[in-house]
Amino acid sequence: MVPSNQEKSFDILVVDDEEAIGRMLQAGIQLAGYRCRVADGPRSALRLLAEHPVDVMVADIRMPEMSGIELGRIVKARYDADVIIMTGYVDDFNYEDIVQQGASDFIQKPVRIAEFIARLKRVIGERTAKQDRIKALHELELNLNKLHRAMDGIVQAISVVVEKRDPYTAGHQQRVAELACAAARELGLGEDDIYGLRMACVIHDLGKITVPDGILAKPGRLSDLEYQLIKNHVQAGYDILKQIEFPWPLAKIILQHHERLDGSGYPNGLRGGDILIQARILAVADVFETIASHRPYRPSLGMQRAVDELRDNSGTLYDPQVVSVFLRLVEEGRFPDYN
């Protein structure tokens, strides 16, 4: 059967110090529809490969300059090529050993041309399937990158909307994201989890779009009713996002970022390990940034006040491991100075 046009594009190199065998295999390979060159030994094969890379090299195992196995190792290291080994010394070698050293197949001499072509086609078929898988994975990676960029754009747009509603805290969500991700990396979270945490951080106050402007910008103390409306922003943010199937639990992180270890937080009074680690990190970053930054109802309280808040309430309100990392990053000067 004549190969398809795609198969005809494959290049084969036969390496054998017996000219008759090389020419016989070349004729069979070309009759099967593939391009084929012949080299009379390893050195001439390497010269040919430097000028004309191939898809499959077929090499005799015993040749004067070096063995086919040694040549195969060199070819596998330098080129993207499969290797088929031939030998008449079947008692000295076995299939498993040859394949373990990188060969794709092992053929016994004297070679029957029909069997050889069948084995060659199998190697080419497996090679094509592997290349297709690599191509598919590459395309998947490109699509995932596009999806990430699209989600980034959507999340950043949401963040801008929130900050336009609450201009007095402009930049707060972005700063919280930087603090939280720095801490998460030190805590050993994977890059994918950190990416999701960043997305949650930059929209963690999304629910504030449901709070009246007069309350958000109020310079004085809030009434109990006004404070309840503010507190409802975590539930509102969750309700907005819960139907969207993000790869990360963004809605739950946002819902839980005002929960506290001792159960005194809101909206559900969760305790300890019932709170997502991402939410515990976000909680510390949010409190730290809020205390250290200016607010409409007060000037910045400074970094030292933020540090004292975390230290005094570590283990009761805030996760002690997260607090420990934050305090170390502050001591190392890896957070901006809010004073």
Same domain, 128 and 200: no
Cα distance between residue 255 and residue 34, in whole Å: 62
Same domain, 129 and 191: no
Our CA dihedral for 104, 108, 114, 120, rounded to 10 degrees, sits at 10
Same domain, 193 and 315: yes
Burial class (CB within 10 angstroms; exposed 0-12, middle 13-18, buried 19+) of 5: exposed
Same domain, 34 and 119: yes
Tokens of 207: 């629910």
Same domain, 319 and 175: yes
In a domain, 242, yes or no: yes
User: What CATH code is carried by the domain that includes residue 316?
Assistant: 1.10.3210.10
Same domain, 185 and 108: no
Same domain, 284 and 325: yes
Same domain, 174 and 304: yes
Same domain, 313 and 203: yes
Same domain, 201 and 323: yes
Same domain, 132 and 173: no
**pTM, entire model:** 0.62
The single residue listed with the structure tokens 């020419």 is 23
Max intra-chain CA distance, the chain: 98
Residue 23 structural domain: 5-136
Residue 208 designated active-site: yes
Tens of each residue's pLDDT in the chain, 339 residues: 444 444 447 999 999 988 899 999 999 999 999 999 999 999 999 999 999 989 999 999 888 888 888 999 899 889 989 999 988 765 566 666 777 777 888 888 888 899 999 999 999 999 999 888 989 988 888 887 887 787 777 777 877 777 777 666 668 888 899 999 999 999 999 999 999 999 999 999 999 888 887 777 777 777 888 888 888 999 999 999 998 888 899 999 999 999 999 999 999 999 999 999 999 999 999 999 988 876 655 555 678 899 999 999 999 999 999 999 999 998 888 776 555
User: What CATH code is carried by the domain that includes residue 26?
Assistant: 3.40.50.2300
Distances (CA, A) of 187 to 63, 100, 205: 57, 41, 24
DSSP per-residue letters across 244-264: S--SS-HHHHHHHTT--TBS-
Cα distance between residue 125 and residue 82, in whole Å: 11
User: Residues 8, 130, 135, 208: which is the catalytic one?
Assistant: 208
Q: Could you say which of 84, 115, 136 is where a domain stops?
A: 136
Positive or negative: CA dihedral 262, 268, 270, 275: negative
Number of domains present in the structure of the chain: 2
Whether omega before 212 lies within 30 degrees of 0, making that bond cis, reads: no
